[in-house]
């Protein structure tokens, strides 16, 4: 709560910076996302995306916001835009896989998830507990992405 108030004070006191600062818009967008202020978060993330047209990060964060709102198609589009900007960012594929799973596009979701894990094997640690991916958890292709437990 205190972080939000401080960030809002800064934003209000520096309107010219907010018009030109990618980092200020992105950071405040993340704070609003964490606070559940999704419409405000998207507005600021869109501003960040307009300021730095080459960064995939605002789109990845927008995909996460849309997932929280159960706006699966919007999440897919945001994740795809992030991938279009940088096809080496694991989190973009992860966000895409989660949204595609909710849309029951299983084959595409598994492909995106496999790419996510390929780019960052640590994603496998998160996917097991991810509610949006639960419908895939019993599938062999999903289980193959999870590293085997070391034998003792």
Please say whether the beta carbons of 27 and 34 come within 8 A: no
pLDDT at 149: 65
Query: Same structural domain for residues 136 and 88?
Result: yes
Please say whether the beta carbons of 123 and 146 come within 8 A: no
The token pair that represents 50 in the structure block? 């307009």
Number of domains comprising the chain: 2
Query: Same structural domain for residues 44 and 73?
Result: no
Is pLDDT at 10 greater than 70 in this prediction?
A: no
Query: Same structural domain for residues 116 and 61?
Result: yes
User: Which residues constitute the domain of residue 9?
Assistant: 1-53
Q: Which residue has the tokens 């991810």?
A: 130
110 vs 108: CA distance, rounded Å: 5
pLDDT at 147: 85
The token pair that represents 56 in the structure block? 């995939």
Query: Same structural domain for residues 144 and 71?
Result: yes
Q: What is the pLDDT of residues 42-80, one digit of tens each?
A: 999 999 999 999 999 999 999 999 999 999 999 999 999
At 116 the three-state DSSP class reads helix
Cα distances (Å, whole numbers) of residue 20 to 13, 63, 124: 14, 23, 37
Residue at a domain's end among 12, 38, 53: 53
Please say whether the beta carbons of 3 and 31 come within 8 A: yes
Confidence of residue 16 (pLDDT cuts 50, 70, 90): confident
Query: Same structural domain for residues 47 and 84?
Result: no
The token pair that represents 39 in the structure block? 């419409």
Phi, psi (degrees; rounded to nearest 5) at 100: -65, -35
Query: Same structural domain for residues 70 and 125?
Result: yes
Query: Same structural domain for residues 106 and 152?
Result: yes
Query: Same structural domain for residues 110 and 69?
Result: yes
């Amino acid at each position: 709560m205190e972080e939000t108030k401080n960030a809002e004070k800064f934003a209000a006191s520096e309107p010219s910076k907010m018009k030109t600062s990618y980092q200020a818009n992105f950071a405040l967008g993340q704070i609003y996302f964490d606070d559940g202020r999704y419409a405000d978060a998207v507005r600021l993330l869109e501003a960040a995306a307009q300021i730095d047209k080459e960064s995939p990060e605002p789109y990845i964060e927008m995909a996460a916001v849309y997932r929280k709102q159960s706006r699966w198609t919007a999440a897919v589009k945001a994740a795809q835009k992030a991938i279009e900007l940088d096809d080496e960012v694991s989190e973009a594929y992860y966000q895409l896989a989660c949204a595609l799973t909710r849309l029951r596009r299983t084959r595409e979701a598994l492909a995106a998830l496999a790419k996510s894990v390929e780019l960052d094997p640590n994603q496998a640690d998160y996917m097991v507990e991810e509610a949006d991916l639960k419908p895939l958890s019993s599938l062999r292709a999903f289980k193959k992405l999870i590293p085997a437990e070391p034998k003792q």
